[in-house]
Structure formats: structure tokens, C-alpha cells
Structure 1
Amino acid sequence: MVDGEGDNAFWTKIGAAWEHKDGKGFNILLTAMPLNGRLVIRQPKPVEDQR
């Protein structure tokens, strides 16, 4: 979930997504629901960029 815009955005982890083997969909596991209804799914960053 993302609150705010641009450099002021704050990301809250509420779940995870895994791409299907055929690349045509995702399995999504939510551990919480966003209160504002906005959910953003992006490609994961490479491990070295996750600091």
C-alpha cells in the first residue's frame, strides 16, 4: 500500500505477489487490506537494491 505521492510516498507491506509460470497472472497473498482501496503492484527490486 502507498500513502502519499512521489518522494513523500510511504510504502506499507500488506502482502506479496507471485507471477504465474506462464507470465499471464499473479497469485496475491494479502495480510491486510488497504483502507483507501489503493493497491500498487510493482516488479521486485534486485536484492542488492533493497537496502
Structure 2
Amino acid sequence: MSLLTIILSILLPPLAVFLKHGVGTEFLISILLTLIGWLPGVIYAFYVNSK
């Protein structure tokens, strides 16, 4: 993971997922988790971008 991806995963998790994977199920799940709470969105963004 690049430094930009790490920073975006912390600040704007859906944007980090979008830049890595585009619009798809990962992006929609990231938006949903971020709306539920910021921390679940961050955790999911790190998980998706690290695999």
C-alpha cells in the first residue's frame, strides 16, 4: 500500500476504496460502513486495499 492509500483510508475510506477498485460492491460496502461509523469504514478500507 502506498502512503497516499494509507492516508486516504484514514481520512476518507470510500475514496481510498474507489481509487483502488472503482465502483463496485467493495465501494458500496465501504460507504455503508462509513455511514454506520467512521472506524468500521477505516478498518474495511485497510482490509480491502491490503489484499
TM score, norm. by length of structure 2: 0.24
- By percentage of residues, which structure has more strand? 1
TM score, norm. by length of structure 1: 0.24
